[in-house]
Amino acid sequence: MVALRIAARSQAPASVRGRSLTRAIAFFIFSGLVHVATIGAALGVWSASRSSATPTPGVVFVDLAPATPAAATEARLMDGPASDDPTVAALNRQVAQLSAENTDLSSSLLEERQRTAQLEADYRRELSASETARSRLGDELAAIVADRETLASELTTARERAAALEQELAAREQAERAALDEVKATYKRLVSSLQGEIAARDVALEQANSRVTVAIADRVLFPSGQATLTPAGERVIDKVGTALTGVTDRRVLIEGHTDNMPIGPDLRSRFPTNWELSTARATEVVKRLIEHARLPPDRLQPAGRADTDPVTSNDTEDGRRRNRRIEIILLPPASTPDSRAGS
């Protein structure tokens, strides 16, 4: 207990220690005054006894040793806390205040530790979530990179294909221009060769894009109801064949057409219907083109149309005359032998 008080004293502020020193000095002065007064009194008594010669009892001197500050302080601490000592009361209040502050600080420290632990837990959770998100983003980025590489490869392929298509289109356009030029040249040759027949309206020429049609009246080519070419018909077919010899990549369709009049009784044994008659006449023209114009047989295709494709009405004699005809059609390069472009 004494040690606690001494420790409390040692922790007291400098003002308290100063007051204790002042009290010790005052105590020393007071003790000196008492000694001086005692000695003076003793000397007075001794002088009086000598002057009166009356024996007096002996004087006993008592040495009052001055008390040191440490001793006074220890004595005060040993006597217990003085309730009327303001220094001790102040120290007690300060100790109580420090104890209360220590309790508050301990509570605050505990709260801070709990808060720190919570923050650490939140940080670890956020860090884990961030790592998970980064891993997911990494996977997504890898997928995007792979898709970009795939798209780049597809784009390269598409560009190469587009370039090839452009080259193919340019080549096709060039071929079409060349074919059109060839058709125009063939048409001019036909017009030049058949000027007389065209003027007599026995032959009609038509050009539509890459298709050229030569329509020849049957009266020029065949006798009535017959499928054998007349000498005049052979000359006309030979002129057409000569104009077609310069065409090397086209197919030629030869169509026979009739009016809607039925075959007479005299010819039914050879041509039961107009189908047989129109087919026979188309075949006769093909044979003449092969034998005299030397056109390749694989480029020639005969076809009988009978009265299914008239150019005008069959109600009049003039209309029926125009419907009876042979058409030699120069087909476009992409057409098949039996196709009729534009029909």
**Tens-digit pLDDT profile for residues 20-51:** 666 667 666 776 776 666 776 666 655 665 55
Instruction: Please report the pLDDT score of residue 334 as a whole number.
Output: 61
Instruction: Please report the pLDDT score of residue 84 as a whole number.
Output: 65
Say if CB 1 and CB 81 are below 8 A apart.
Answer: no
Domain range list for the chain? 2-80, 194-330
Q: Which of 82-96, 243-257, 278-292, 297-311 has the lowest mean pLDDT?
A: 82-96
Say if CB 321 and CB 260 are below 8 A apart.
Answer: no
pLDDT confidence of 4, banded at 50, 70, 90?
very low
Q: Which of 207, 325, 227 is nearest to 284 (CA)?
A: 227
Percent of the chain having pLDDT more than 90? 47
Say yes or no to pLDDT of 15 above 90: no
Q: What number does CATH give the domain 194-330?
A: 3.30.1330.60
> Phi and psi of 176, rounded to 5°?
-65, -40
Instruction: Please report the pLDDT score of residue 146 as a whole number.
Output: 92
Residue range 106-160, pLDDT digits in tens? 989 999 999 999 999 999 999 999 889 989 999 999 999 999 999 999 999 999 9
Residues with Cβ within 8 Å of 309's Cβ and at least 6 positions away in sequence, in order, are: 255, 257, 343
Which span out of 188-202, 206-220, 298-312 was modeled with the highest average pLDDT? 298-312
Residues with Cβ within 8 Å of 276's Cβ and at least 6 positions away in sequence, in order, are: 270, 304
Which span out of 50-54, 74-78, 181-185, 300-304 was modeled with the highest average pLDDT? 300-304
Instruction: Please report the pLDDT score of residue 326 as a whole number.
Output: 96
Across the chain, what does the average pLDDT equal?
81
Instruction: Please report the pLDDT score of residue 29 as a whole number.
Output: 75
d(CA 233, CA 217) in angstroms, rounded, equals 10
What pTM was computed for the model? 0.52
Say if CB 225 and CB 207 are below 8 A apart.
Answer: no
Say yes or no to pLDDT of 3 above 50: no
Percent of the chain having pLDDT more than 70? 74
Say yes or no to pLDDT of 337 above 90: no
Say yes or no to pLDDT of 80 above 80: no
pLDDT confidence of 208, banded at 50, 70, 90?
confident
Say if CB 222 and CB 228 are below 8 A apart.
Answer: yes
